[in-house]
Structure 1
Amino acid sequence: MECRTLDINIKRAYGLKNVNLFSTMDVYAVVSISGDPRGKSKQRTPVAKDSGSDPYWNYPMKFTIDEAAAQSNRLNLKIKFVSSRSLGDRKIGKVVVPIKRLLDESAKGDEGKSERTLTFSVRTLSGKEKGTVEFSYKFGEKYTVQAPPPPPPIMKSSEPVTAYPLGYPGSSSGYAAGGAHPPPAGTAYAYPPPQQGYGYPPPPQAGYGYGGYPPPQQGHGYAPYKPQRPQRSGMGGMALGAGAGLLGGLLIGDMISDVGDSMAYDADFGDGFDF
């Protein structure tokens, strides 16, 4: 890809349309190259304070253009004039110049080595000519730029994925071609069943449910259960009744104390406490 530099100096504009009602315009220019296959490039001048309709900048810029796109008249130089305002900037007008025209004008001189100055009319948003812009430009020597490689293709989710059966080259299974056969259909596991002696506990014996352990039987360390009849005693009944009454009184007292503490806690923080 052949490219070359383009040096532009936005010197001044005069006779621009006044888009401010009560204040003097502060004008700046936005310069861009459109139509470049590498993307649009853009630069801007400083704001000419209190310049009104005749701003002055004398501001240099540098762009890089594609030679083939310029020669085929696909590139344009755009200069837009804007009034800077605190309540929102407002457009004044613009100039559009084909880069091919600048190349042809430059070729009329000493093979484009010297700087040339041109003036163009500014068109308002309604398309009327109002004002003039003056700028100078100069093209640099052509040079070759290696185009970046294209990005790798992205596989779509709808594209089929190649799968191999078990036992064939390229398969991810653990069976080699011509070797051991895959497990028969209906098998619920993909690996050989665990065997005793390799860190696995022995399987539970059948007939003992889910626990895996037989129920206790008499004669194997468990004593048979024999219910005993409680003995009656008059003194014991009285003691038990007195103890129950004492315990109930203590519980009721604790409950009354807890209720009192809770009411005091609510009274300190008031209703609607934000947690």
Structure 2
Amino acid sequence: MECRTLDLVIKSAKDLKDVNLFSKMDVYAVVKIDGDHNLKSSKHKTPTDKDCGTNPKWNFPVQFTVDDAAAQQNRLTLVVKIKSDRSLGDKEIGKVNVPIKELLDVFGEAKEAKYVSYSVTTPSGKVKGTLDLSYKFGEKFTAPEQHKNKHAEPAPAYPAGYAAGSSVAAAYPPPGAYPPPAYAHPPPPGGYPPPAGAYPPPQPGAYPPYPPQGGYPPQAGYGYGGYPAPVQQPQKSKMGGVGGMALGAGAGLLGGLIVGDMISDAADGGFDDGGFDF
């Protein structure tokens, strides 16, 4: 890629728009090259001219490297923004846009710097003030291309065992990939013997079956299944209290009357044939 240097001197500006109300402006400029080129773009800022008002002076030198082919195809633009330095926020005064191809055409085969002036355009689109600068192009030279891809992203790094573009982990090794651990030994034929001191297995007939055939006999005072037998409670007389006492008194009186009647009958009849005549 063929390139050449562009040496600029941002000299001064005059008759700029005053964007301050109560004090003189402190003015500086920002210089850059915009466009479609393969070289890394950069910005340069001039010193701030204090209390300069509408006529700042800088004489600030700056150098760029431009792609000659892009400049010849009118794809590069020199941009100079002039701003007022303010404590409550900087404010743009105006801007100058110059095609690099235009500078090349004016410069031609010259060896000395060229002095030019360009009109300053305010943010509202009006022309107010001028910018003075000088420039000079260097000889062509070959530089390696520097491709820039703003949308390029670093390739993701996958851990071992993962496949790129796959959502399923393949990190598990195939069966048999790892040797068995040292303590994993197959059991001996017939299984492991019981440890020393263990209880012997129960022998058939050593213990009675549970429960014994026919079940356990019920215990005294308990019913079927071991639960207590129900107790019959005596029924209470429906008549209690004074009524019961009256009933007892009545029964005694009736018995006494019957006995008395029997004795009276016996006295009235006397003895008949030596005995009672009933």
What TM-score does the superposition give when structure 2 sets the normalisation length? 0.59
Instruction: Tell me: CA distance 1:213–1:25, structure 2 relative to 1, closer, same or farther (3 Å).
Output: farther
Q: Determine if the alignment matches structure 1 residue 11 to structure 2 residue 18.
A: no
Give the 5 Å matches for 1:41-190. 41-107=42-108, 111-147=109-145, 154=155, 157-158=164-165, 189-190=175-176
Distance 1:49 1:158 in 2: 59
AA aligned to 1:22 is F
Q: Deviations over 1:49-75 (max 9, x none)?
A: 000000011111111100000000000
Q: Tell me, which stretches of 5 or more residues in structure 2 are unaligned?
A: 157-162, 201-278
Distance 1:149 1:55 in 2: 38
Instruction: Tell me: CA distance 1:62–1:214, structure 2 relative to 1, closer, same or farther (3 Å).
Output: same
Contact 2:38 2:147 in 1 (8 A): no
AA aligned to 2:20 is N
Q: Tell me, which stretches of 5 or more residues in structure 1 are unaligned?
A: 164-171, 174-188, 220-275
Partner of 1:25: 25
SS at match of 1:70: helix
AA aligned to 1:117 is Y
AA aligned to 2:176 is A
What TM-score does the superposition give when structure 1 sets the normalisation length? 0.59
Contact 2:9 2:59 in 1 (8 A): yes
Contact 2:39 2:145 in 1 (8 A): no
Give identity over the alignment, percent: 51
Rg (Cα) greater in structure? 2
Distance 2:185 2:42 in 1: 75
Instruction: Tell me: CA distance 1:202–1:115, structure 2 relative to 1, closer, same or farther (3 Å).
Output: closer
Shift of 1:86: 1.2
Contact 2:39 2:146 in 1 (8 A): no
Partner of 1:38: 39
Question: How many equivalent pairs are there?
Answer: 187
Distance 2:23 2:144 in 1: 51
Shift of 1:40: 2.5
CA RMSD of aligned residues (A): 3.6
AA aligned to 1:147 is E
Distance 1:93 1:204 in 2: 92
